[in-house]
Chains A and B, each alone.
Chain A
Amino acid sequence: MNNMKREFVTYDQGITLKRLGFDERCLTGFSYEDDKLLAEAPLKQQVLRWFRDKYNLVSWVYIGNVDRYFYTIIENGRFVVDHKVYPTYEEAEDACIDKLIQIIKEK
């Protein structure tokens, strides 16, 4: 559990979120080797809260059975369901964030 990078969204997600208006203060940022800050690096929990508060997009990961993870998104009371199965919690969470980004991009 020592890889602290996993607490954050990916670089691609971070850049896209910035374009979509995410501008909250973050614990750290994405940078090149020369330490030039490219973008804030949001925590996953921060991004999921941002979607809840700003767009009323509520999401969670759940277990369908042992080692079978799914995610659910609720948009204004309507379920956005992806029936795809993910082998780990983290993969389901990651896919969920991608889907949330996609929903906002398509608005």
Chain B
Amino acid sequence: MEKEFISYEQALILKELGFNEPCFGWWFVDEKMLFIEKSKKSTSDNILQAPLKQQVFEWFREKHGYCVSIRKRYFQTDGRTEYNYFIYPPNSNEHLEHNLLDEYDTWEEAESACIDDLIKLVKGDGTIDFICPDPNCPHCNYNE
């Protein structure tokens, strides 16, 4: 069941960012050992809440207004597939703005990279290009 949870390092940063929701798992900080059982909000420095991936996406959506889509792309030319993710900024009246530049071999890699980018956005670290680089992007033209 470990794969249902975000990484220890991500959880540590999310705690700094204020994530303190009841979770289905927790880490014993000294040993970085994951225990899968329901936990309430964190009350001890030795306990780190272990959020589910979907729980983290909900938190970013509801607390910070960032919505995401992890997607699969097919290349008809050679049958190749790749995964990437779109991040929708809060209250965007535009169609969408997203990060199309990075692509990943698996859904899980894209998901984890997306969480890292959401963390960067909320922390205000670095810059993330929210301008779609594809002038023919069918998604950006969706509402036009």
Contact B4 A45 (CB under 8 A): yes
- Evaluate contact between A63 and B96: CB separation under 8 angstroms: yes
Stretch at the interface among B8-16, B26-34, B87-95, B129-137: B87-95
- CB–CB B107/A52 < 8 A: yes
- Chain A residue with minimal CB distance to B143? A65
Q: Which residue of chain A is the closest to B41 with respect to CB atoms?
A: A2
Cβ A4 vs Cβ B24 within 8 A: yes
Contact A7 B69 (CB under 8 A): no
The number of chain B residues touching the other chain, given as a range, is 20 to 34
Residues of A within 8 A of B91 (CB): 66
Residues of B within 8 A of A28 (CB): 24
Known: A27-B24, A77-B74. A65 touches B95 (CB 8 A): yes
Which residues of chain A are within 8 angstroms of B63 by Cβ–Cβ distance? Answer: 1
Residue on B nearest A63 in the bound complex, by CB: B88
- CB <8 Å contact, B53 and A1: no
Interface string of B67-79 (1 = CB under 8 A from A): 1011110101000
Given contacts A1-B21, A45-B53, contact A60 B61 (CB under 8 A): no
- Taking CB atoms and an 8 Å cut-off, the chain B residues in 46-91 that contact chain A are 52-55, 58-59, 61-63, 67, 69-72, 74, 76, 86, 88, 91
Do A58 and B143 have beta carbons less than 8 Å apart? no
Does any Cβ of B come within 8 Å of A89's Cβ? yes
Q: Closest B residue to A53 by CB, please name it.
A: B107
Q: Min CB distance, A31 to chain B, in Å? A: 15
Contact A45 B88 (CB under 8 A): no
In chain B, positions 91-137 with a C-beta closer than 8 Å to chain A are 91-93, 95-96, 107
Q: Which residues of B contact A (CB under 8 A)?
A: 1, 4, 21-22, 24, 36, 38, 52-55, 58-59, 61-63, 67, 69-72, 74, 76, 86, 88, 91-93, 95-96, 107, 139, 142-143
Chain A residues engaging chain B, CB cutoff 8 angstroms: 1-2, 4, 7, 25, 27-28, 43-46, 49, 52, 58, 60-66, 74, 77, 89
